[in-house]
Structure 1
Amino acid sequence: MNSVVRQLLEQNTDVVMVDTGDSYEGICGYFGGTYISYSKEKPISMNPFKVTREEYEQNFGEKKNFLKSLIFLIFKGNEAPSKIEDMLVNQTIVEYYEAYFNPFTSFSDTEREGLRQKLLVAAKMEDDYEKFATDMRDIEEQINSPEPETKTTVRALILPSEERRNKIIRQCRALRAMIVDRATTEAEKEKAASKIEVYKKELHETSMLMKIDKQIDHMEEQKRRLKVPSLSFNTYYEFALERIPQITSLEKIHFDIRDFAAILKQFYRGGELEVTLNSDLDTNLFDERFIVFEIDKIKDDPVLFPIVVLIIMDVFLQKMRIKKGRKALIIEEAWKAIASPTMAEYIKFLYKTVRKFHGIAGVVTQELNDVIDSPIVKEAIINNSDVKILLDQSKFKDRYSDIAAILGLTPIQKQQIFTVNALNNKEGRNYFKEVWICRGQNSDVYGVEEPPECYWAYTTERAEKEALKIYLRHYGTMQEAITNIEADRKRAGISKYLDFARKVNQQQKVMSLW
């Protein structure tokens, strides 16, 4: 993979890598890239909630889906959210950004009318027969009771529904007076009684609307109190904990807000992981051509590891949109942390989106079992990958039918794969390793030969890396260190890199100072 990365960089491709195991420390140093290693003392911190107005107006749908994935990754882990949970989190994210970019003052007439109709439908849904009968008896008593003395009232304070209700009651009383009037004919009495029944039903709905108008006033005040002074996980957490109970109360649905608050609390102010989602990333990183995020120290943390991988992916997406030219995101073994039902749609989105921006997304695995055992990988990664690169697969020969089916390999391609490093074709040639590369329907086996200087940059052998660091301290740059350690190895007549590295480590100085 180091060889692929080198070629991408030599072709002026911006590369972002997520690594576990210091595999790319050497090549990053050689190309003068930025190497960011996660530690408790210096954690990788970002603010995935921060967006500009331009991003909000143009790409909010993408950002919203990313933030939903992030929140559910914290809240639910690998478990898929329910439809109610998805609806609530989606609504809070939408309203959170709306409150920040367009602070609420009041409902417009159109919004009030829309809410009135929505709440009226909900009220009718809850209105059972016994409650309806009770309300109708109360209305009957109001009609039959004598009209109270009227007092002077400021008209502006009377709601339209209340004014309508008072008018209907007066009409009902007039009709009731007609019925008891001896001068009224039977036909007129019957027509008046029928009209009263119609008015009683209208009064029942008007009473509902009066309660609904007061409810809308209360909702308006609630929304006015919801302020978002800045964008971060902290302010989203505060917004969601206030807003979700309001929504569940209005919609009469169940959501365990206490569980939600307790699980997300570790990322909130004062929590153990507060800095992870609340500190702005160094914007200078967007100008770097080569960035390696080394997160080996948290690979066993079931909570933090997938979250850090996810927000690094978001950093890449931001970089991808901002910068011109080709960009590549390569995720080493860390991709397994996000291969879950919660993340499947986001991974698909990532693969499809990078193509629109002249980008590349790639994942690397040492074990094909990961491919076989994960339907998420097949659906979200393999089906969206145009290029596949495989090394020696001889140890998987017994179960390669399953692998071939998942990778969509033809019988000829299977035969090609099992010739990798298996032919007697080394005589008279420099050292090389073979690799099978497939692009679309075209595939073949290629020999990869790298110069010794590249080996020193790529090596993951600890002793060799330590020896290279001794040369780096002496010569100051990775290029000078690699050039001189290889020249000294040849000068010493030591054929094996590891043997020479052990001598350097034993002396703890460059060869010219032995």
Structure 2
Amino acid sequence: MIAEATNIFPIYKVEHDCILSRQGDITVAYELTLPEIFTLSERDYTAYHSTFVKAIKVLQNHTVLHKQDWHTQASYKADYEGKDGFLARSSEKFFNERPYLAHSCYLFLTKKPNGRKPATSAYNNLLRRTIVPAQTVDENLFQHFLDSAGQFERILTDSGFIRPRRLRNDELAGTSVKAGIMERYCFLLTENEQSIVRDINLQNGLKIGDRYCQLYTLADTENLPALCGSRINYEKYSTDRTKFSIGFASPLGQLLNCNHIYNQYILIEDPQKTIKALESKKLRLQSLSMYSRENALAMEAVNGFLNEAIGEQRLPIKAHFNVLVWSDKPEDAELRNQVSSALAQMDCTAKQETDGMAQIWYAGMPGAGADFPINDTFDSFAEQAACFFNLETNYKDSISPFGIRLGDRISGRPVHVDISDEPWKQGWITNRAKFILGPSGSGKSFLTNHFMRSYHEQGAHIIIVDIGHSYKGLCDLVGGYYFTYSDDDPIRFNPFYLPEGSSLDTEKKESIKTLLLSLWKKDSEPYKRSEYVAISNALTFYYAYLDENPDIFPSFNSFYEFLLSEYSPVLKEAQVKEKDFDLGSFLYVLNPYYKGGEFDYLLNANENLDLLHQRFIVMELDAVKDHPVLFPVITLVIMEMIISKMRKIPQIRKVVLLEEAWKAIAKDSMAEHVRYLWKTMRKFFGEPIVVTQEIEDIISSPIVKNAIINNSDTKILLDQSKYANKFEQVQELLGLTDKEKALVLSMNKANDPDHSYKEVFISLGGHSKVYRTEVSPKEYWTYTTEASEKVKVQEYALRYGSMQKGIEMLVKETLGQ
């Protein structure tokens, strides 16, 4: 039989942001923003569950709560706008069409008229004409219902877990260009899908357009678990020492990877009438108990229910839960297996609905919850029923314009994550310093390459102090300065150079004085005030001399020659005694840095000079980290460069990344520089980041333990599985919670075999998540730290004239694309 939908459509009209049914039911609708999956602790789930129970108890009698979670298969759409960089565009192309499960959550509160006859599978109010009930036209009754809904909304909001938003008329009924929630449900349209009318066929099941639907219900206590709670263990991510929590109903939410709608109903009738009816049922069963053991058992069950309702002040309700799934295949056994497996994780039994499918589907329409067949519900309490609510959603993008691309843990969908500015504004962190811990092979340098590339693309100034040549590829690609030492090409700086348009300021002058004094005097040898003044005057006269002689290039060589020829007479004329400032001693000790000396290269560079304006600088210290002369000088140059950027470009983000080089810098007199960075950079829009491999490094170094960890609100950890049995020590040192410990030890336990990636744990002042670090092939070849692969990249860059062209050709040849 074919019928016009308008003749049996249960909704009369939408007005005042409410849905009015033909039977006089009034519905208000909300869109709920839920917490992200895998982010809640056991305590969070308990509090979250209590919030829903508390909210349910403020609803009026004869109210239907209908929560509807839409999970629809979608794919990531590449957006190239604003992504002009070579690697940014390659990432967009790589993730284009990446499938994931989109989620949206709605909640409908429907007030039934008093005395409304409940719907059953045999009797349906949809087919019955009626006089408009009093509540529909009575302003006071309507306002009382809205007040009740407002209290419900306020309780959810105040919990901090959920953000409800009232849906407006256009969002309910739709417009000429966009479908509303009712139209979407009738025709199974995704949120951004073009509005389209599809035939609804209720013969032999349910078919909407070309989509074949299956309905699985939890409508009988026989199908329910013996025990339920706010959470269950997720075995994939649990270990012998940690239990990984997910919501009790999460297997029917984000973890059920197919197109589906999860409907959750709670029907609140008159509790006193419900108790009275159950008392009568108990007496009937008691009188019949001598004839049947089943009657005796049923009587005990009813009696137990009544005792709990009265003794613990429980709210008796009726509940129903169902999962509507669909695909383009008439009999999709895979869907059946997926739903059965999901329900089994909750210790539930799947029941595929056939006879009552049409009416249950019809009552799932927004605003039609009052027409849900009462015989397809079971008696329960608000506490138990709320356990079956889906509590989580998928990962969300940060609203901040600044951020890093990481991946959703389930699907790998790109997620925009701000680990600096948004957490600062939210008050989660009080500084932008970061501590990264990851053993060898965990993808540590790969991750930091990805971070530095993202920071650089967004205008930050990057200074990397490295040991191991992990950033050579990225530095060459972005055209940065790469300082390293070899016998053929030793490391060179020029602290005397001033960029065009700059003049000698106090900061620059102090840094050069500090450098010259450290070259002249030993650490344990103090300098006199007269010596400090003499060197200060020498620098002042030297830069005045350069202004008068623009053909002289600023360097240590020309400074040395200036002291010999120009400054020596000044000292004699001023009658400066040798005991106050011994120029001969000064020149003799510094002679190795003058041309022809052992270290004449070190302070006389004539290229890579403008360190202030260069946005990507790598200091590779592997060959000099133990050198008694070169290393202290290089450290001072690095500090001068950092301080100069801090003072002169305070409005620009500055990142200082100390890879394993921190071990060398943090010893002896250099330790003070590390303390200074971690305590001062936050005042100048700076982000110091330290990277280390071993737990022992943390314990053995008081600098790391006290100065760095205590002043780094952001903790980033990579795979710690090798430390699983002694992770308590790390947990205590880093101040991680039990929830964060479970997150850390869950990394890389159930990775998708179809994709190559590592997972990373990020804690922002206690707000923690695990993400994927998955990159495109071009990013991979840029970041790789594998020795043979780095050689190959350099060969291709040399062959094709640039790093970018070399990587493009390398990817094309290796992947055939």
TM-score bin, normalised by smaller chain: 0.5 to 0.7
Q: Which amino acid aligns with 2:813?
A: D
* CA–CA distance in structure 2, aligned partners of residues 271 and 284 of structure 1: 25
1:362 match: secondary structure: strand
* CA–CA distance in structure 2, aligned partners of residues 38 and 455 of structure 1: 26
TM-score (norm 2): 0.37
Cα shift at 1:447: 1.6
Matched, 1:468 2:801: no
Q: Which amino acid aligns with 2:599?
A: L
The CA deviation string for residues 37-92 of structure 1, in whole angstroms up to 9 with x for no partner, is: 323343333344678999866537xx64785488558855xxx74xxx4463x663
Q: CA 1:475–1:420 in structure 2 vs 1: closer, same or farther (change >3 Å)?
A: same
Q: CA 1:312–1:280 in structure 2 vs 1: closer, same or farther (change >3 Å)?
A: farther
* CA–CA distance in structure 2, aligned partners of residues 370 and 69 of structure 1: 29
Please show how residues 47-446 of structure 1 align to structure 2 within 5 Å.
47-48=494-495, 58-59=506-507, 64=510, 68=514, 71=517, 76=522, 81=524, 85-86=525-526, 88=528, 92-98=531-537, 100-101=539-540, 232=556, 234=560, 246=579, 266-267=592-593, 271-277=597-603, 282-323=608-649, 324-421=651-748, 423=749, 425-427=750-752, 430-446=755-771
* CA–CA distance in structure 2, aligned partners of residues 402 and 272 of structure 1: 47
TM-score (norm 1): 0.56
* CA–CA distance in structure 1, aligned partners of residues 691 and 653 of structure 2: 20
Q: Which amino acid aligns with 2:465?
A: V
Deviates more, 1:66-75 or 1:412-421: 66-75
Please show how residues 14-25 of structure 1 align to structure 2 within 5 Å.
14-25=461-472
The CA deviation string for residues 362-405 of structure 1, in whole angstroms up to 9 with x for no partner, is: 22222332222111223332233232222122333455444334
The CA deviation string for residues 253-312 of structure 1, in whole angstroms up to 9 with x for no partner, is: xxxx99x99976644665412332455774344333222233333344343234323312
Cα shift at 1:427: 3.6
| Kept after mapping to 1: 8 A contact 2:653/2:685 | yes
Counterpart selection for 1:35 from 472, 482, 486: 482
Residue in 1 that maps onto 2:457: 10
| Kept after mapping to 2: 8 A contact 1:69/1:346 | no
* CA–CA distance in structure 2, aligned partners of residues 473 and 427 of structure 1: 36
| Kept after mapping to 2: 8 A contact 1:391/1:435 | yes
Q: Which amino acid aligns with 1:328?
A: V
Q: CA 1:297–1:444 in structure 2 vs 1: closer, same or farther (change >3 Å)?
A: same
Cα shift at 1:4: 0.8
* CA–CA distance in structure 2, aligned partners of residues 476 and 65 of structure 1: 38
Matched, 1:487 2:784: no
Q: Which amino acid aligns with 1:352?
A: K
| Kept after mapping to 2: 8 A contact 1:30/1:479 | yes
Cα shift at 1:8: 0.8
| Kept after mapping to 2: 8 A contact 1:44/1:276 | yes
Q: Which amino acid aligns with 1:314?
A: E
Q: Which amino acid aligns with 1:301?
A: H
The CA deviation string for residues 195-243 of structure 1, in whole angstroms up to 9 with x for no partner, is: xxxxxxxxxxxxxxxxxxxxxxxxxxxxxxxxxxx99585899999998
| Kept after mapping to 1: 8 A contact 2:679/2:711 | yes
* CA–CA distance in structure 1, aligned partners of residues 521 and 738 of structure 2: 45
The CA deviation string for residues 156-209 of structure 1, in whole angstroms up to 9 with x for no partner, is: xxxxxxxxxxxxxxxxxxxxxxxxxxxxxxxxxxxxxxxxxxxxxxxxxxxxxx
* CA–CA distance in structure 2, aligned partners of residues 349 and 341 of structure 1: 14
Q: CA 1:337–1:73 in structure 2 vs 1: closer, same or farther (change >3 Å)?
A: farther
* CA–CA distance in structure 2, aligned partners of residues 414 and 94 of structure 1: 55
| Kept after mapping to 1: 8 A contact 2:481/2:614 | yes
Structure having the larger proportion of residues in helix: 1
* CA–CA distance in structure 2, aligned partners of residues 370 and 237 of structure 1: 45
* CA–CA distance in structure 1, aligned partners of residues 675 and 562 of structure 2: 26
Please show how residues 487-506 of structure 1 align to structure 2 within 5 Å.
487-491=812-816
Deviates more, 1:36-45 or 1:260-269: 260-269
* CA–CA distance in structure 1, aligned partners of residues 577 and 698 of structure 2: 39
Q: CA 1:264–1:377 in structure 2 vs 1: closer, same or farther (change >3 Å)?
A: farther
Residue in 2 that maps onto 1:115: none
The CA deviation string for residues 78-120 of structure 1, in whole angstroms up to 9 with x for no partner, is: xx74xxx4463x66334421454389xxxxxxxxxxxxxxxxx
* CA–CA distance in structure 1, aligned partners of residues 698 and 513 of structure 2: 27
The CA deviation string for residues 310-330 of structure 1, in whole angstroms up to 9 with x for no partner, is: 312322332343345222222
| Kept after mapping to 2: 8 A contact 1:24/1:458 | yes
Counterpart selection for 2:777 from 448, 452, 456: 452
Structure having the larger proportion of residues in strand: 2
Q: Which amino acid aligns with 1:11?
A: Q
* CA–CA distance in structure 2, aligned partners of residues 45 and 263 of structure 1: 19
| Kept after mapping to 2: 8 A contact 1:309/1:335 | no
| Kept after mapping to 2: 8 A contact 1:73/1:342 | no
Q: CA 1:269–1:383 in structure 2 vs 1: closer, same or farther (change >3 Å)?
A: farther
Q: Which has the higher contact order (CA 8 A, sep 6+)?
A: 1
Residue in 2 that maps onto 1:508: none
Q: How many residues align?
A: 347
* CA–CA distance in structure 2, aligned partners of residues 244 and 380 of structure 1: 43
Cα shift at 1:434: 1.0
Q: CA 1:45–1:476 in structure 2 vs 1: closer, same or farther (change >3 Å)?
A: closer
Cα shift at 1:244: 10
1:40 match: secondary structure: coil
* CA–CA distance in structure 2, aligned partners of residues 484 and 95 of structure 1: 58
| Kept after mapping to 1: 8 A contact 2:511/2:640 | no
* CA–CA distance in structure 2, aligned partners of residues 442 and 73 of structure 1: 46
* CA–CA distance in structure 1, aligned partners of residues 465 and 787 of structure 2: 20
* CA–CA distance in structure 1, aligned partners of residues 555 and 814 of structure 2: 55
Cα shift at 1:481: 2.1
* CA–CA distance in structure 2, aligned partners of residues 33 and 70 of structure 1: 27
